[in-house]
Amino acid sequence: MGLSVEWRDRTPAAEGIERRGPIAQRIQTLLIDDLDGGEAAGNSLVILNGHGGNYVLSNIAQEGSAQGKRMALFPTGEDWTEARTSAGLVSSGYEDMHAGEIETSILLHAHPELVRDGYQAADWVANDRRHLLARGMQQYTQSGVIGRPSLGSAEKGKAVLASTVESFAPVLEILQKQ
């Protein structure tokens, strides 16, 4: 079985869907229903999640799999933790929430032109975020950074991506056997 990769923008706006109802329901409809019919019928779906704490996508992947759909969310928290260890990152996944060491490292490797000068002095640690879901991220950072981008490097970014590629192999194997 060969692997083909297709990128499709599955946002509600790209699909021409009105923005009514819970966002999770709209995303679930776009992703899971697409596996039932049309050009995606019989295929597997991997939701590539570049944002580690995405509860909505985790639930959608779990519900889809429970319904017999061949789908997965990748990378998982465990994959990110393994990549952090493999790459020798200093900060923890909790401390490094947004625009910190891991994201800066990936960008420095893959697209250094997107990293703003001054990241070396942009560290912002906000480890007590117990009310984040109620108050929003803006209550914990003015710059958007929660983490330590100064620790980032292109070498770490390369190692993080290599680790995630390696971690994806078992996911692909599972989906191909279903």
Spell out the domain ranges in the chain. Answer: 1-74, 88-161
pLDDT value of residue 30: 57
pLDDT for res 41: 52
pLDDT (0 to 100) of residue 43:
74
Residue partners of 119: CB distance under 8 A and separation at least 6: 104, 149, 150, 152
- Predicted model pTM: 0.78
In the block, residue with structure tokens 């056997």: 177
Q: Which residue has the tokens 């060491």?
A: 101
Please report the pLDDT score of residue 60 as a whole number.
Answer: 82
Determine the pLDDT at residue 6: 47
In the prediction, which pLDDT does 16 show?
Answer: 43
Q: What pLDDT is recorded for position 177?
A: 85
Beta bridge partners of 147: 124
Output the pLDDT for position 135: 93
Helix (H, G, I), strand (E, B) or coil at 71: strand
Successive 10-residue mean pLDDT values, the chain, 178 residues: 46 44 52 56 75 75 84 90 97 93 96 95 95 92 95 98 94 87
Positive or negative CA dihedral for 58, 60, 65, 71? Answer: negative
